[in-house]
Copies of this chain bind each other. A is one copy, B any other.
């Protein structure tokens, strides 16, 4: 903060990670230097190394923190909402809120920055796959529950439906980053819920 001298001894690692994550989120992995990170975190380079390891380790931890935030969004919406359609719609809306709008619209930190780094950095690639597969598993569990409870009429392939639900999220992430308007994307995400899950079957 402006005017603040020094740092509390117990520097809040989670906050520092978030500040680093914000730089990676806007500038990408390769577009971010350790000096950028040091400036954003208010830490010098040796302190960063001591606390988090090098740039790649820091990026992977920031990715993990972001994925955790998205998972909490999943739990608050899809998991807690009994109405599957409402829950999925809320999930997409919550994601769009995180992805941002207007000048500060950055999309998803993982989907918009990890792919560019994944070929050169195999550990980033592995993390990216893990984030995707973990969401696949959570969505598949919810789709299977929806089938058991008769919330979905007919499903060709539960696994592919789960992936299709995530595909909308990937596309929202990229489209936000490309500058598409929030209103347009809310319309798309709402229509996607209706197309993917169909009308609620009559009991």
A28 in contact with B26 given A129-B178, A132-B180 (CB within 8 Å) = no
Tallying the copies of this chain within the complex gives 2
Are A119 and B178 in contact, with the CB atoms below 8 A? no
Nearest-neighbour CB distance to chain B for A180, whole angstroms, equals 7
Are B156 and A26 in contact, with the CB atoms below 8 A? no
> Which residues in B have their C-beta under 8 angstroms from that of A168?
164, 167
Does chain B have a CB within 8 A of A120? yes
Does chain B have a CB within 8 A of A27? yes
Instruction: Choose the segment among A71-79, A82-90, A192-200 that binds chain B (4+ C-beta atoms closer than 8 Å).
Output: A192-200
Give the residue of B117, B161, B180 whose beta carbon is less than 8 angstroms from that of A28. B117
Does chain B have a CB within 8 A of A70? no
Does chain B have a CB within 8 A of A179? yes
Does chain B have a CB within 8 A of A166? yes
Are B161 and A195 in contact, with the CB atoms below 8 A? yes
Nearest-neighbour CB distance to chain B for A126, whole angstroms, equals 7
Chain A residue total in the interface (Cβ 8 A): 49
Query: Complex: how many Å from CA A164 to CA B156?
Result: 17
Are A178 and B28 in contact, with the CB atoms below 8 A? no
> Which residues in B have their C-beta under 8 angstroms from that of A192?
160, 163-164, 167
Residues of A at the B interface (CB closer than 8 Å) are: 26-31, 106-107, 111-120, 125-126, 128-129, 132, 156-157, 159-161, 163-164, 166-168, 170-171, 173-175, 177-180, 187-188, 191-192, 194-196
Closest 9 CB pairs of A and B: A160-B191, A28-B116, A167-B171, A30-B31, A30-B30, A116-B116, A112-B115, A129-B178, A128-B178
